[in-house]
Amino acid sequence: MPSGIITKGIGGFYYVSSEDGTYECKARGIFRKNEMTPLTGDRVVFSILDPVLKKGSLDQILDRSSLLDRPAVANVNQLITVIAAKTPEPDLMLLDKLLVNSEASGMRAVICINKIDLDVQDERRDIYNAYSCAGYRVLETSSMENIGLEELKAVLKGRISVFAGQSGVGKSTLLNMVMNTMVMKTGTLSGKIERGKHTTRHTELIEIEDGGYVVDTPGFSSFELAGIGRINLQRYYPEFSEHIHACRFSGCSHLNEPDCAVKQAVADGLISGGRYGRYVDLFAVFKLEEDMKYKK
C-alpha cells in the first residue's frame, strides 16, 4: 500500500504527499473509534480510491517521533527560533523558553538573528556569543540585504522545521525569501506595538525544493512549558552538562548551594550570565507553580 505525509487537513479532508503525487483522503472511521485524529506531519499509509482524481482513504498513522499541541503538528524535528537584532528588541526569556521546550521535545534548535542590517553597532554580538557557547547553531540573516539566506536554506534541508519567535521579527518574510514563494501573507509592522500581522488560518507543510518541509502555521510565539518542572529544568541547558558532575551535591539546583560548578562556570565566563539569570527566574516560576499545586 502507498504511504506519504499529511501536508494539510481542511474540513475532514487530508492531503497526503506521496511519490505518486498528492492525494485527497478521508480518514477511516476506525480513527474516530480509537479517538485518534490525523495531524499535519503524520506519516500515513493510505488506499487509492481514484488514481485519476487522486482520491484516497487513510488506513494507518505511523508512529510519531514528536507531537506539538500548538500548533497541532506531528514529527517536527527542528525548531528555528527567530529574534530580531533590532525592532523589536530581542525577548531573550521567550527565546530561552523555546529552547528549553525544544530540548525537552528532542528537537534540534537553531537560532536565527534576523534584521542584522539594522544593527549598525553590532550589538547582537553578545547574543551570538552567548548562544554559540551554549552549543547552539546561530545564523545571522537579513532579508533586506539577502544575507544568510543560503545558509538558512541548507539548515532546512531534509527536516520538518517550525519557525517560532516574537511577532514582527520577520519569520514570514524569511520563509517567503528562502522558498521563493508566498508562504505566509505578511503585513506591515505596527509602529506602536512593533508586531507583524499575517493571515494564515491553518497548519500546513510546505515542501522545500531540495527536500524537507516547513510548517506554515497561524502565528504563535511560544510552546507551553508543561510537564518540565524545576527539578528537570537544568537538563535542558546544554551548557550546564559539562559542569554538573563537578558540583559538591548530586542534587544541586545551582542556586544557593556551596561549591556549585555551574555558578563557578558563570563566574569564569564559561556560561552566559544572562542565560543563567533567566534559568534562575524560570526555576522560581516552576517552584511557585508547584507550591500552588501542592496547596490546592
Chain centroid to CA 148: 19
Alpha carbon separation from 277 to 93, 96, 200, 271, 280 (Å, rounded): 10, 11, 36, 11, 5
* 127: Cβ contacts below 8 Å, ≥ 6 apart: 83, 90, 92, 113
Residue-wise pLDDT for 85-141, tens only, equals 999 999 999 999 999 989 988 899 999 999 999 999 999 999 999 999 999 999 999
CATH match for 68-216 among 3.10.180.10, 3.40.50.2300, 3.40.50.300, 2.60.40.640: 3.40.50.300
pLDDT computed for residue 200 by the predictor: 44
pLDDT computed for residue 29 by the predictor: 86
Does residue 173 carry a pLDDT above 60?
yes
- Three-class SS of residue 63? coil
Residue-wise pLDDT for 233-281, tens only, equals 999 999 999 999 999 999 999 999 999 999 999 999 999 999 999 999 9
- Listed in order, strand segments (DSSP E) in 85-192 are 108-114, 137-140, 160-165
Q: What's the rounded Cα separation, in Å, for the pair 44 and 58? A: 7
Least confident of 20-29, 115-124, 213-222: 213-222
Q: Are residues 98 and 81 in contact, defined by beta-carbon separation less than 8 angstroms? A: yes
What is the mean pLDDT of the segment spanning 205-221?
Answer: 77
Q: Are residues 174 and 80 in contact, defined by beta-carbon separation less than 8 angstroms? A: no
Which of the four pLDDT bands, split at 50, 70 and 90, describes residue 198? very low
- The closest alpha carbon to 139, from 100, 110, 177, belongs to 110
Q: What's the rounded Cα separation, in Å, for the pair 87 and 119? A: 10
Exposed / middle / buried, residue 269 (Cβ in 10 Å: 0-12, 13-18, 19+): exposed
- The closest alpha carbon to 239, from 93, 88, 133, belongs to 133
Residue-wise pLDDT for 54-95, tens only, equals 999 999 999 999 888 777 899 999 999 999 999 999 999 999
Does residue 194 carry a pLDDT above 70?
no
pTM of the model as a whole: 0.85
Give the CA dihedral 229, 225, 104, 183, nearest 10 degrees: 180
- Three-class SS of residue 226? coil
Long-range contacts of residues 234-239, Cβ cutoff 8 Å, at least 24 apart: 234/262, 234/279, 235/103, 236/99, 236/100, 236/103, 236/104, 237/100, 237/103, 237/134, 237/275, 237/279, 238/103, 238/134, 238/135, 238/136, 239/133, 239/134, 239/135, 239/265, 239/270, 239/271, 239/272, 239/275
Domain layout of the chain by residue ranges: 3-63, 68-216, 229-295
Look up cell 541548507; give the residue: 154
What is the mean pLDDT of the segment spanning 29-33?
Answer: 83
Instruction: List the Cα angle 29/30/32 in 5-degree steps.
Output: 70
Q: Tell the CATH superfamily of the 3-63 domain.
A: Nucleic acid-binding proteins (2.40.50.140)
The architecture of the domain spanning 229-295 is Orthogonal Bundle (1.10)
Q: Are residues 105 and 68 in contact, defined by beta-carbon separation less than 8 angstroms? A: yes
pLDDT computed for residue 195 by the predictor: 39
Exposed / middle / buried, residue 215 (Cβ in 10 Å: 0-12, 13-18, 19+): buried
Q: What's the rounded Cα separation, in Å, for the pair 226 and 261? A: 28
Q: What's the rounded Cα separation, in Å, for the pair 93 and 105? A: 18
Q: What's the rounded Cα separation, in Å, for the pair 70 and 221? A: 10
Look up cell 552538562; give the residue: 241
| Phi, psi of 168, deg, nearest 5 | 90, 0
